[in-house]
Structures are given as structure tokens and as C-alpha cells.
């Protein structure tokens, strides 16, 4: 796990918007998108439309629409973060 992945996962214990995540991590948007893509591919983050609705994989477009989503760490993401 990279330092950036750790920092992002550290903020994902609760549902958080892209903008809040960007402010909390102080990462530029393009860097944050790359980190989110990386942890999404590892199964460590849920991409959500609302606090109750996870998006199906076919509807997720992190490169072009990351700022439209909210995020939450998965169980495996939390375990990786705490290892």
C-alpha cells in the first residue's frame, strides 16, 4: 500500500464526498482520482451515488466523474489499512 492509498483510506471510515476527500488529503484532483482508481481496482473502496446506494461497476467512471461520487472503504480496505 502506498502512502497516498493509506492517506485516502484513512478518510474513508465514513461516507465522504470527493470534495471533502480532496480537502482532507490535500491532494490535487488528478492525483486523488489516480489513487481512488488504484484502491477501487483492489476492492478497497465502494463508489456510491448516495449514502445508501452503491453504484454498479458498469456505471462507474472515476476518470470523468469522480467529483460526482461519494466513497466508503470496504471491509477489505479497512483490513488493509489496519495491517
Nearest to 50 by CA among 62, 29, 76, 68: 68
Pull the grid cell for residue 30: 488528478
What is the pLDDT, as a whole number, of residue 83? 85
pLDDT in 10s for each residue of the chain, 83 residues: 999 999 999 999 999 999 999 999 999 999 999 999 999 999 999 999 998 999 999 999 999 999 999 999 999 999 999 88
Q: What cell numbers appear for 14 in the block?
A: 465514513
Question: Which of 41, 37, 46, 35 lies closest to 72, judged by CA?
Answer: 46
- Give the position of cell 471510515: 13
Task: Map grid coordinates 461497476 to a residue.
Answer: 57
Cβ-contact 15, 70 below 8 angstroms: yes
Task: Go through the domains of the chain in sequence order and give each one's CATH number.
Answer: 3-82 (1.10.10.10)
pTM: 0.92
Amino acid at each position: 500500500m502506498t502512502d497516498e492509498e493509506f492517506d485516502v483510506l484513512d478518510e474513508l471510515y465514513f461516507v465522504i464526498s470527493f470534495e471533502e476527500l480532496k480537502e482532507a488529503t490535500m491532494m490535487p484532483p488528478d492525483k486523488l482520482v489516480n489513487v481512488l482508481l488504484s484502491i477501487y481496482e483492489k476492492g478497497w473502496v465502494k463508489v456510491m451515488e448516495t449514502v445508501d446506494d452503491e453504484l454498479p461497476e458498469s456505471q462507474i467512471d472515476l476518470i470523468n466523474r469522480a467529483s460526482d461520487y461519494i466513497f466508503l472503504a470496504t471491509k477489505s480496505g479497512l483490513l488493509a489499512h489496519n495491517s
